């Protein structure tokens, strides 16, 4: 999976799975537009990945702003001359532990704005660019929650189900245009933020995984790279759990 000379956008790139995915793409030679809500954080990450700044572009952008997503793609095209891949990873979980009748409206609106609208806005701009060149591949980050219900997380669970529907619809629309679109459903992963969770909670999360452990972020990133690559050239419209067997139970 050599991405030398290719250009990818990663949203939510400065932390968690987005960071691991960006690292994996960079290691495989891709030019990267790294988008994140906090420009200083994503700029620092870009410098860490690429001190000379030859293959990275840091973009401060809120995915819930459609104008920012169009600007993100325009900046990428201006810097690198094209767009081959996109990983729409940015997302928030919102609060846990609220049954639907008690779920705060403001939290619902924010989760939907970031996780659903943000994915749509990013794809809308990315697909327009890819359509011009007649090729491309997109991976959207859903979740294991995208195909199961989890009490107390109505906004996040709804949003991640919606990402799958959006992915499949767009995949059908662009199947003959040379653009592949898939979604993955990560389970619990040992990101930096997750590892700040108390040990007993981490152990509980691990026990819910049939493999008995959390995912390594690099394992998720490698699967994303596979779906973007020509090795997955006949895969589009798919939802692929990468959850240690969680949703098979």
User: Residues 101-158: pLDDT tens digits?
Assistant: 999 999 999 999 999 999 999 999 999 999 999 999 999 999 999 999 999 999 999 9
Q: How many CB atoms lie within 10 A of CB 244?
A: 22
Question: Global pTM?
Answer: 0.95
Instruction: In whole angstroms, give the CA distance from residue 50 to residue 33.
Output: 12
- Ranges of beta strands (E only) in 39-193 are 56-60, 85-88, 136-141, 179-186
Positions marked catalytic: 156
Q: Are 138 and 88 in contact (CB under 8 A)?
A: yes
User: Residues 15-70: pLDDT tens digits?
Assistant: 999 999 999 999 999 999 999 999 999 999 999 999 999 999 999 999 999 999 99
Residue 23 tokens read as: 């690292």
How far, in Å, are 184, 199, 228, 231 from residue 221 at the CA level? Answer: 11, 24, 11, 15
Predicted pLDDT of residue 205: 87
Once rounded to an integer, what is the mean pLDDT over residues 69-92? 98
């Amino acid at each position: 999976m050599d991405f030398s000379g290719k250009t990818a956008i990663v949203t939510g790139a400065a932390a968690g799975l987005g960071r691991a995915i960006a690292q994996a793409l960079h290691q495989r030679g891709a030019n990267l537009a790294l988008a994140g809500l906090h420009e200083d954080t994503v700029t620092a990450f870009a410098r860490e990945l690429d001190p000379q700044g030859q293959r990275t572009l840091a973009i401060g952008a809120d995915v819930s702003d459609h104008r920012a997503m169009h600007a993100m793609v325009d900046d990428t095209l201006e810097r690198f001359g094209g767009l081959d891949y996109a990983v729409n990873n940015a997302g928030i979980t919102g609060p846990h532990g609220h049954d639907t009748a008690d779920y705060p409206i403001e939290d619902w609106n924010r989760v939907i704005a970031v996780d659903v609208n943000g994915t749509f806005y990013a794809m809308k701009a990315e697909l327009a660019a890819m359509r011009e060149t007649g090729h491309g591949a997109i991976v959207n980050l859903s979740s294991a929650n995208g195909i199961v219900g989890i009490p107390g997380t109505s906004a996040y669970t709804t949003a991640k189900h919606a990402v799958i529907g959006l992915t499949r619809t767009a995949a059908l629309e662009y199947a003959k245009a040379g653009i592949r679109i898939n979604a993955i459903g990560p389970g619990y992963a040992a990101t930096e933020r997750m590892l700040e969770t108390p040990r007993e909670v981490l152990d509980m999360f691990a026990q819910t995984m049939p493999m008995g452990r959390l995912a390594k972020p690099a394992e998720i990133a490698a699967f994303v790279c596979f779906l973007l690559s020509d090795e997955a050239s006949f895969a589009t419209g798919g939802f692929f759990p990468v959850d240690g067997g969680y949703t098979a139970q």
